[in-house]
């Protein structure tokens, strides 16, 4: 087993982890921005923007993320880490847009009216009354979506051979042929994803508890 844990191998896997985290973090940041815009637009009472946001959200989120990855890489022939970011941002923006819509929806209209009657301006209502409550309701779903992005970046190796975490470990598996070695590599691979995602999920539960009053 010692031969697995050489400095070269550890560095090799670490480089993959860096790519995975880079693609995930940039996609998550961009998707949060676009998803919030989409969700707010869809919560408007009417108009062309509401319709456009609704069509985008429904079409994109009801088609697998994997297909969007193929669309970016195969149909548009973009083959880079940036293209990976684009393919995840397309899908995750729609998924987050729907979560934001649901979150805003979960705060009753009465709250809005009550705050307005107390002399709050529209922006103030949003800032002090609606958003804090909506955010608290949305956190579990949002974080679950973030975790999904990190997990789904594992597709990038199979689709376009981007050497992220899964790619690097799969390459290593090709160099070892003993059952125990291959199984330990699977275990390491699963464990790295597990630790990252478990920490994120745990943190989100703590955050939600803190926001509950």
Partner 1 sequence: MFSSSGPFAWFKWQALFADWQIFAQGFGYTLFVAISGLALALVIGIIIGISSSSYVKPLKLIARGYVEFFQNTPLLIQVFFLYNGLPFVGIVLSVTVIGIIGVGMYHGAYIAEVVRSGIGSIAKGQMEAAYSQGFTYWQAMTYIILPQAKTVILPPLTMQAVNLIKNTSVLAVISGADIMFTAKSWSSYNVYYGPAYVVAGLLYFILCFPLANLAKRLEDKANAMPTEAKNKKGPGMTTQDLTVGSS
* Contact set with partner 1 (CB under 8 A): 58-59, 61-67, 70-71, 74-75, 91, 95-96, 98-99, 102-103, 105-106, 136-138, 140-142, 144-145, 147-148, 151-152, 154-155, 158-159, 166, 170, 173, 179, 182-183, 186, 189-190, 193-194, 197-198, 201, 212
Please state the closest distance from residue 2 (CB atom) to partner 1, in A.
20
Please state the closest distance from residue 77 (CB atom) to partner 1, in A.
9
Nearer to partner 1 among residue 1 and residue 7 (C-beta): 1
Q: What's the DSSP call for residue 129? A: I
- The answer to whether 87 and 164 are in contact (CB under 8 A) is no
Query: Hey, what long-range contacts does 88-91 have (CB within 8 A, 24 or more apart)?
Result: 88/23, 88/24, 88/27, 88/31, 88/149, 88/152, 88/153, 89/27, 89/30, 89/31, 89/34, 90/60, 91/60, 91/61, 91/65
- The answer to whether 147 and 96 are in contact (CB under 8 A) is no
Angle at Cα 120 formed by Cα 119 and Cα 123, nearest 5°?
150
Show the tokens assigned to 187.
């275990």
Nearer to partner 1 among residue 119 and residue 175 (C-beta): 175
Show the tokens assigned to 155.
């597709």
Nearer to partner 1 among residue 46 and residue 62 (C-beta): 62
Nearer to partner 1 among residue 126 and residue 148 (C-beta): 148
Please state the closest distance from residue 100 (CB atom) to partner 1, in A.
10
Nearer to partner 1 among residue 119 and residue 209 (C-beta): 209
Nearer to partner 1 among residue 60 and residue 125 (C-beta): 60
Please state the closest distance from residue 121 (CB atom) to partner 1, in A.
27
CA distance 78 to 187: 32
Please state the closest distance from residue 99 (CB atom) to partner 1, in A.
5
CB neighbours of 35 closer than 8 A, spacing ≥ 6?
Answer: 92, 93, 94, 95, 96, 97, 99, 100
Please state the closest distance from residue 44 (CB atom) to partner 1, in A.
17
CA distance 182 to 144: 29
């Amino acid at each position: 087993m010692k031969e697995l844990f050489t400095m070269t191998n550890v560095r090799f896997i670490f480089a993959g982890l860096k790519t995975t985290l880079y693609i995930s973090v940039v996609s998550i940041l961009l998707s949060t921005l676009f998803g919030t815009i989409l969700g707010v637009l869809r919560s408007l009472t009417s108009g062309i923007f509401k319709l456009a946001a609704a069509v985008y959200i429904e079409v994109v989120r009801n088609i697998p993320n994997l297909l969007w990855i193929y669309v970016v890489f195969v149909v548009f022939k973009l083959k880079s880490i940036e293209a990976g970011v684009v393919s995840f941002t397309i899908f995750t923006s729609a998924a987050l847009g729907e979560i934001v819509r649901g979150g805003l929806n979960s705060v009753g209209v009465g709250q809005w009216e009550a705050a307005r009657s107390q002399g709050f301006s529209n922006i103030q209502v949003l800032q002090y009354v609606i958003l804090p409550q909506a955010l608290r309701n949305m956190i579990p779903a949002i974080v679950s979506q973030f975790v999904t992005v990190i997990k789904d970046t594992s597709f990038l190796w199979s689709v376009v051979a981007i050497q992220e975490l899964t790619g690097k470990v799969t390459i290593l598996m090709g160099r070892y042929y003993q059952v125990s070695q291959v199984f330990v590599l699977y275990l390491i691979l699963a464990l790295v994803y597990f630790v990252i995602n478990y920490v994120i999920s745990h943190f989100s539960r703590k955050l939600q508890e803190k926001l509950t009053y």
